[in-house]
Amino acid sequence: MSFNNKVVIVTGSSSGIGAAAAIAFAKEGANVVIVGRNEEKMKNVSKKCESFGKKPLVIKADVSNDVDAKRMIDETINKFAKLDILINNAGIAEQDEITSDSFMISFDRVMNINLRAAVYITHLAAPHLIKTKGNIINISSIAGSTNAGSTALTAYCTSKAALNHFSRGVALKLSGHGVRVNIISPGPVRTDILDNLSIPNFNWDTFKETTPLKRYSEPEEIADLILFLASDRARGITGSEFIFGELYAWYTQFNTNSVDNNKMALVTNVRARPSTLALGRVIFIGSVVTQLPNRLDHGGVKMSFDNKVVIITGSSSGIGASTAIALAKEGAHVVIVGRNEKKMKKVNEKCESYGKKPLVVKADVSKDEEAKKVIDETIKTFGKLDVLINNAGVADWNDITSDDFMKKFDAIMNINLRAAVYLTHLAIPHLIKTKGNIINTSSIAGSSTLGMSLLSSYCTSKAALNHFSRGVALKLAEYGVRVNVISPGPVRTDIAESMGADIMTWDTAAQTTALKRVSEPEEIADLMLFLASDKAIGITGSVFISDNGSLVK
């Protein structure tokens, strides 16, 4: 994820998430523009950035002031002659009730910084980002989809909800110019913003105990995701919202009695709303598991899988094959699982070229005895299991009024859902030992009918897989095991071609996306590796959508 000579503006980068992101970009070779109001803090961030070899541009500015915002863009272009990435991170939170005489003053201040500043800076930056085909990441909050458990935070919640929807609209507009726009909505993160709220009796240790994973996130965790989304590894992702704290929201929904309402009024009523889940553009991200260290040296975290044991079902072609090859390249012991021996042989040869001979298991994972064979042979050969990727799947046209509907329905559900459930059940004891993780390959069909009634069985199977994954993520969090979902949009794979897709079909599919393109399997493999790695140590219970903007269109 090198950003060598990329020009990156990070607003609100004097501390917290912004500072962590600026430092992370600097370490990856970027020309960083640090923007904030606290000169002393910016000086400290600048020193850390400069230690990686390049002197950042430091701009003292109040981004809610139009003159300052324009000066920030102008100075960046004067200095570097271009702009590749804009991180709108500046934000404030204030407590004030709608009945208060001072409410409108507070409301205007919050909206000006959290929303209008980001809108104006985006407006100013757009022409420059179009030239570089760059991207924008807006830092929002889970407060944008909940009331944050406090009526006194109405202005803050309103500003973040507005920022989210603004981002989706701009993503659609700028996609035509090759510019991506995404959102990150953190939950509990240890930054100045909560400390500055002066909540009575608030302390971070108490706050930590109210989460299912007994911790809050650190800014560096959010920075890791910022870098991934800003990189070419996320070239198929736009118009998406990544929410840190989904498991926390679910936990508080069913465990509100476990929270001290006097001390934690800010968060006791957080809810994961079904209507939010149905939007299709929301990617839910959990929190780091209890057993993992509370602080990490993120600068030293790599995506190496040296000697990790990884099972990939459906890996004879497409996404599964690309993932197997990518993992082998990173040093993993790969278990290739599929039904087509000829295709598996080719994947095996590519994997072996990186130095380690994979285990090849011919199996129909929809059959219990063959699914068990996959796990048994893996443990017998390698003695452990670190990562399970449930990727096997089928799609078929199926009319609810046809005589053979139930036959096709059962076949689709058995492969797309039940096989993943059973393999997960079998793999859990081994993954608990290694504190490993699971990635389930779903589809945007899990949150959309795709406008095709003949795919209702496929859509049903993927929706079920998504929700199964969230439930298992919550259960396995206590053991240090992460569970996530990847939901691709149009990807050039055998599954579509087996349904009759041809060159014209792919061209048509590309036109249905905001970015006017179809993904290649290797793009999804990049996301697989990120989620399976320690770079994603703070992510669980998530559905990642990589669809070139299909659902935002």
Identity of residue 410: D
Give burial (CB, 10 Å; 0-12/13-18/19+) of 132: middle
Strand-by-strand arrangement of the 7-10 sheet: 57-60, 31-36, 7-10, 85-88, 135-139, 180-185, 241-244, 282-285
Tell me 279's DSSP state.
T
Which H or E run includes 284?
A: strand 282-285
**Distance between terminal CA atoms of the chain?**
28
- From CA 164, how far away is CA 179, in angstroms rounded? 17
The token pair at 14 is: 């004097």
Identified catalytic residue from 120, 156, 248, 458: 156
Is 251 one of the annotated active-site residues of the chain?
no
Q: Looking at the DSSP assignment, which residues form a beta bridge with residue 326?
A: none
The secondary structure element, H or E, covering residue 376 is helix 368-382
Measured in degrees and rounded to the nearest 5, phi and psi for residue 330 equal: -90, 10
Cα–Cα distance measured from residue 272 to residue 222, given in angstroms and rounded to the nearest whole number: 20
DSSP for residue 113: I
Query: What is the distance between the alpha carbons of residues 243 and 142, in angstroms, rounded to a whole number?
Result: 6
One-letter amino acid of 369: E
**What phi and psi values does residue 193 have, to the nearest 5 degrees?**
-60, -40
Write out the H or E segment, with its range, that includes residue 242.
Answer: strand 241-244
Task: Please calculate the CA angle 96-168-110 and round it to the nearest 5 degrees.
Answer: 20
Distance of alpha carbon 99 from alpha carbon 97, whole angstroms:
5
Asked if 263 and 150 count as a contact pair (C-beta separation under 8 A), the reply is no
d(CA 311, CA 313): 6
Q: Which amino acid makes up residue 388?
A: L
Rounded Cα distance, 324 and 163, in Å:
38
Our CA dihedral for 218, 1, 125, 72, rounded to 10 degrees, sits at: 60
Would you please indicate which residues are annotated as catalytic (active-site) residues?
156
